[in-house]
Amino acid sequence: MVIAIPKLRPSSILGPIHCALLAGPIVESLGVLVLTFGWLGPLVCAPVTVWLLVTPLLRTTVGERIFLRTGRDVRSLSENERTLLVPVAGGALSRCGFDWDRVDWYVRSREMSVNAYAAGRRSIAVTQGLLLGLAAGALAPEHARAVLLHEIGHLEDPSARRRLIVTWLTGPWYFVQAVLVFVVRGLVAMSPLAKGGLLLLPIATAIAFVQLARQQAWLSVALLLTVLTTVVVNPLVDAAVGRRAEFAADNFVARAGSARQLAAVLRERDCESRGGLGALYARHPSTARRIEQLTAAGFLTIQSLDG
CB of 214 to Zn ion, least distance (A): 48
CB of 282 to Zn ion, least distance (A): 13
In the bound state with Zn ion, the residue whose beta carbon lies nearer, of 51 and 117, is 117
In the bound state with Zn ion, the residue whose beta carbon lies nearer, of 104 and 246, is 246
Binding to Zn ion (CB under 5 A) within 9-48 occurs at: none
CB of 190 to Zn ion, least distance (A): 37
In the bound state with Zn ion, the residue whose beta carbon lies nearer, of 238 and 246, is 246
In the bound state with Zn ion, the residue whose beta carbon lies nearer, of 205 and 273, is 273
CB of 249 to Zn ion, least distance (A): 5
In the bound state with Zn ion, the residue whose beta carbon lies nearer, of 14 and 26, is 14
In the bound state with Zn ion, the residue whose beta carbon lies nearer, of 172 and 285, is 285
| Three-class HEC string of the chain | CCCCCCCCCCCCCHHHHHHHHCHHHHHHHHHHHHHHCHHHHHHHHHHHHHHHHHHHHCCCHHHHHHHHHHHCCCEECCHHHHHHHHHHHHHHHHHHCCCHHHCEEEEECCCCCCCEEEECCCEEEEEHHHHHHHHHCCCCHHHHHHHHHHHHHHHCCHHHHCHHHHHHHHHHHHHHHHHHHHHHHHHHHHCHHHHHHHHCHHHHHHHHHHHHHHCCCHHHHHHHHHHHHHHHHHHHHHHHHHHHHHHHHHHHHHHCCCHHHHHHHHHHHCCCCCCHHHHHCCCCCCHHHHHHHHHHCCCCCHHHHHC
CB of 150 to Zn ion, least distance (A): 5
Site string for Zn ion, 73-102 (x = CB under 5 A): ------------------------------
Binding to Zn ion (CB under 5 A) within 221-280 occurs at: 246, 249
**# residues contacting Zn ion (CB under 5 A):** 2
CB of 246 to Zn ion, least distance (A): 5
Q: Site residues (CB under 5 A) for Zn ion?
A: 246, 249
